[in-house]
Structure 1
Amino acid sequence: MALPPLTPSQRAEALEKALAVRRERADLMATLKSGALTLPALLAREDDVVGKLRVRRILESLPGIGTIRAGQLLTDLDISDKRRVQGLGAKQRARLLTLFRTTD
């Protein structure tokens, strides 16, 4: 699907919007990494920034969880590597919350 041609001002506006979203996502991940934000609190948010995050990236941002453990958790929880938060089913979300409520 080709993008429609953009005027220079539309392009600049789109780039600014994308930069703002990337900054917000980075701040969110840093807050999660520091422990100031818990996984249940993050999943309770319903904005687009959280919804478009991959579950694997969120798990890797948690303190004490690296790439290997995040992969194992996703396998154990039967969640795809490519799954985004907005695409989690009710059972997947419940299993994820149960696991991290008991370990927090």
Structure 2
Amino acid sequence: MALPPLSPEQRRAALDKATAARKVRAEVRDALKHGRMSLADVLASDSEAIRKMPVRTLLESLPDIGKVRAQKLIAEIGISDSRRIQGLGIQQRVRLLERFASQS
């Protein structure tokens, strides 16, 4: 299914929205990395930009967690590789919060 062509104004608006979402996600990742925000704060967020962040990216943003450890945690908790924050189930959220309770 082909997307309808966008007018220059619609294209600019879409690009601006995408840029704003990337900026919000970058700020959240930085806040997580430096301890200014907790995992619970991110999971409870109403922001559409944050809710669309992949769980793997979220975990990689936590202090002392890299790509390999994030992948192991995702597999251990039973989260799909492509899952986004908004798609997490209640039990998956609980397991994530329990796993990082000492760091929150």
TM-score class, shorter-chain normalisation, is: over 0.9
Give yes or no for contact 2:55–2:84 (8 Å, CA) kept in 1.
Answer: yes
- The superposition leaves residues 46-72 of structure 1 with CA deviations (integer Å, 9 ceiling, x where unpaired) of 221121111110000101000111011
**Coordinate RMSD, CA, aligned:** 1.2
**Alignment partner, residue 54 of structure 1:** 54
Instruction: Write out per-residue CA displacement over residues 18-70 of structure 1, whole angstroms, 9 at most, x where no aligned residue.
Output: 11111111111111111111101111112211211111100001010001110
Q: Aligned residue for 1:71?
A: 71
Match of 1:41 in 2: 41
Select the structure that is richer in helix.
1
Kept in 1: contact 2:79–2:92 (CA 8 A): yes
Consecutive unaligned residues of structure 1, counting only runs of 5 or more, are none
Asked if the contact 1:40–1:100 (Cα under 8 Å) also holds between the matched residues in 2, the reply is no
Normalised by the length of structure 2, the TM-score is: 0.92
SS at match of 2:2: coil
Q: What's the counterpart of residue 31 of structure 2?
A: 31
What is the CA distance between 1:14 and its match in structure 2?
1.3
CA contact (8 A) 2:29 2:61 kept: yes
Calculate percent identity across the aligned residue pairs.
49
TM-aligned CA deviation for residue 7 of structure 1? 1.1
Aligned to 1:87: 87
| Structure 2 unaligned blocks of 5 or more | none
Q: How many equivalent residue pairs?
A: 104
Q: What is the rounded CA distance, in whole Å, between the counterparts of 2:47 and 2:23 in structure 1?
A: 15
